[in-house]
Amino acid sequence: MGYKSKKEEKAVLSGLGLILRKGDLTCLLGPNGSGKSTLIRTLTSIQKPLKGSVAIDNRPLESYSQKELARKISLVLTDRNAPGNLTGYALVSLGRFPYTSWMGTLSQSDKELIHYAMECTGTLAFANRHIGELSDGERQKIMIARALVQDTEMIFLDEPTAHLDLPNRIEIFHLLQELAHNSDKAILLSTHEMDMALSSADKLWLVTNENTIQSGLPEDLVLNGQLEKAFSRESLEFDYETGGFRRKSGEFKAQVAIKGPEVLKRWTRSALERKGFKVVEEAYLRIDISGSPDAPEWTTNKDNKTYKTIEALLLNI
């Protein structure tokens, strides 16, 4: 699949054989320009595949009317624009359009489903507020509630956390994970949030360097090297302990071993590596950490002095 421009056709993904399972949150990961949004748009009939076809229940997408398709698939796009003159309740209620008459009259069961969706997404407090008054995070929850109200088996989201701050990104991922597990829906979202995807997804669809998609558990794709390969850069290396990428260091200042509580070791290591030290299991230079996160202490065998902050420690090793 791919897209057409005025001058040419550009294929971005091929040889796909993918399965979405009910009850699973599936995250689509890949570098910029690898075709994630193109895949979402193709699977939801916004654009046609260059070759082959997409089918639901063994029926080609193009054979569905818009209303029929809206009963099968709900979609949340990255676009931040939403009609600001609508209230949160009114926008969510639009998700019932595929099931209402041409007059759009809501039945009692429609209203109950809208209430349920807003309750699940924590948006009841926004029901009477206009969309233009909401924050990005609040607006995104409203859009997810609207998708949930459509009562489809599949929900697709294209980078739903792109414009959100960290607390809202975490909240959206947890919300989608709960919806997949508790509502028995197949949820697919494209994202650049690798750490969130690794901790939240039941399955990953990983765009590979061969312009296809490798599907598997997050842990399997980490351990077999597929994740590192997909995002490989000469200047980056994958840290298999933290599950993230970091800049490759040139010459290290020194090797250092750190001992102590895991939480304090994790943040001490972060600071040491940023300053050019290589953290290893055993080394001539050793740092012993004691105490708790709210009252830590660092002692080095270099001078046998104890420091109260990582900043003080770094100034003296």
Over the chain (317 residues), the average pLDDT of each successive run of 10 is 64 80 95 88 86 82 89 84 80 91 82 93 93 90 93 93 88 92 92 92 93 93 92 80 74 88 94 90 95 95 94 93
Do β-strands 25-29 and 255-259 pair in parallel, antiparallel, or remain unpaired?
Answer: unpaired
Residue linked to tokens 């916004």: 46
pLDDT the model gives residue 1: 60
Per the DSSP assignment, residues forming a β-bridge with 25 are 187
Domain 2-230 has CATH 3.40.50.300: yes
Phi, psi (degrees; rounded to nearest 5) at 295: -150, 65
Do β-strands 203-207 and 25-29 pair in parallel, antiparallel, or remain unpaired?
Answer: parallel
Q: Sketch the domain layout of the chain as residue ranges.
A: 2-230, 255-314
Cα separation, 46 vs 189, in Å, equals 16
pLDDT the model gives residue 219: 95
211-264 residue pLDDT tens? 889 999 999 999 999 999 988 877 778 888 778 877 776 667 889 999 999 999
Nearest to 39 by CA among 68, 67, 15, 63: 15
Nearest to 42 by CA among 18, 22, 23: 18
Mean pLDDT taken over the chain: 88
pLDDT the model gives residue 52: 75
pLDDT the model gives residue 91: 94
pLDDT the model gives residue 162: 87
Residues 6 or more apart in contact with residue 219 via CB below 8 angstroms: none
pLDDT the model gives residue 83: 64
DSSP string, 216-263: E-HHHHHHTSHHHHHT--TTEEEETTTTEEEEPPSS-S-EEEEES-HH
pLDDT the model gives residue 268: 96
